[in-house]
């Protein structure tokens, strides 16, 4: 498998595919990753907020049964392997997108796999907010929504950004897996053109590109988290 990497013949064979397909595949991967992350945050962040504020000791305790149910659902979704989850949500995908194959169709299972993960990440970020700051806001007459919008979220922005980075790189990894069930992107190229046809050079090239994308996301995320943190400006 690895010996091919040093064969000029294999490279010559692979180059047209790399030239012809990689640009579109990279775009598809980014498109799916970013849209899925967006929707997963849209569902996951409010859930994370509810997990913190609705807690027994939170600023707006919710009924215990509700919190328990929420936790069970999140844990359940998080424990199903992504490959199985993709297949399980086919009916839902068909309702929302109209088909179960193709690049856009993979957004549905990706969002469902990612939002519980993002909810947990948001939960841990928001729990880090100094309880004294929340008490201070309460002492000045802040309501629950004001505390969420003006204290909890702004105060945990650096941590939220670095956790969002973790989320986006994880989702990028998931998009590659979705190639197996007909999703587009670099994952599809690696599996369909590379692995199934024994053209390992293409597989490796796609993987390397994925690695580079992860690196870029991670460095940009780290930089943003650092820049947003006003505690470090002393």
Partner 1 sequence: MIELDHVCKTFTGSDGQVDALKDVCLSVDDGDIYGIIGMSGAGKSTLVRTINLLEKPTSGTVRVDGVDMLSLSPAQLREKRREITMIFQSFNLLMQRTCLKNVCFPLELAGMKPSQAKKKALELLDTVGLKDKAGAYPAQLSGGQQQRVAIARALATDPKVLLCDEATSALDPGTTHSILELIREINAKLGITVIVITHQMSVVESICRHVAILDQGSVAEAGEVSEVFSNPKSHAARSLVFPEGDVDDLFRDGGPNEHLIRVVFDGSQATSEPLIAHMAVEKGIEASIAYASMREISGKTYGSVLLGIAGTEETVTEAISYLTQKENVTAREVKPYVQ
Q: Which is nearer to partner 1, 75 or 130 (CB)?
A: 130
In the complex, least distance from residue 157 CB atom to partner 1, rounded to whole angstroms: 6
In the complex, least distance from residue 62 CB atom to partner 1, rounded to whole angstroms: 16
Q: Which two tokens stand for residue 4?
A: 């091919």
| Beta carbons within 8 Å of 189's beta carbon, 6+ residues apart | 17, 21, 22, 25, 179, 202, 206
Residues that bind partner 1 (CB under 8 A): 130, 132-133, 135-143, 146, 150-151, 154-155, 157-158, 228-234
Q: Which of 145, 162, 184 is nearest to 60 (CA)?
A: 145
Please report, for residues 38, 162, 174, 175, 180, the alpha-carbon distance to residue 82 in angstroms, rounded to integers and kept in the order given.
18, 23, 7, 10, 11
Q: Which is nearer to partner 1, 133 or 215 (CB)?
A: 133
In the complex, least distance from residue 42 CB atom to partner 1, rounded to whole angstroms: 23
Q: Which is nearer to partner 1, 107 or 151 (CB)?
A: 151
Q: Which is nearer to partner 1, 71 or 228 (CB)?
A: 228
Cα 66 to its chain centre, rounded Å, is 25
Q: Which is nearer to partner 1, 26 or 156 (CB)?
A: 156
Rounded to whole angstroms, the Cα distance separating 231 from 149 reads 19
In the complex, least distance from residue 132 CB atom to partner 1, rounded to whole angstroms: 5
Looking at residue 5, the DSSP 8-state letter turns out to be G
In the complex, least distance from residue 230 CB atom to partner 1, rounded to whole angstroms: 4
């Amino acid at each position: 498998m690895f010996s091919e990497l040093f064969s000029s013949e294999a490279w010559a064979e692979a180059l047209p595919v790399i030239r012809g397909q990689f640009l579109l595949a990279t775009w598809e991967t980014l498109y799916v990753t970013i849209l899925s992350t967006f929707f997963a945050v849209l569902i996951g962040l409010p859930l994370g907020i509810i997990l913190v504020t609705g807690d027994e000791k939170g600023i707006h305790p919710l009924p215990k049964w509700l919190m328990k149910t929420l936790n069970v659902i999140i844990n359940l979704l998080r424990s199903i392997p992504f490959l199985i989850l993709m297949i399980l949500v086919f009916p839902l995908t068909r309702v929302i997108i109209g088909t179960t194959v193709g690049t856009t169709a993979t957004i549905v299972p990706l969002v469902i796999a990612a939002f519980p993960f993002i909810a947990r990440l948001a939960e841990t970020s928001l729990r880090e907010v100094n309880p004294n700051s929340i008490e201070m806001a309460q002492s000045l007459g802040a309501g629950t929504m004001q505390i969420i919008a003006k204290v909890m979220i702004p105060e945990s922005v650096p941590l939220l950004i670095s956790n969002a980075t973790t989320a986006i790189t994880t989702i990028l990894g998931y998009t590659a897996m979705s190639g197996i069930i007909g999703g587009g992107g670099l994952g599809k190229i690696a599996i369909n053109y590379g692995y199934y046809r024994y053209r390992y050079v293409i597989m490796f090239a796609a993987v390397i590109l994925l690695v580079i994308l992860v690196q870029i996301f991670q460095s940009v995320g780290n930089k943003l988290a650092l820049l947003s943190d006003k505690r470090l400006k002393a």
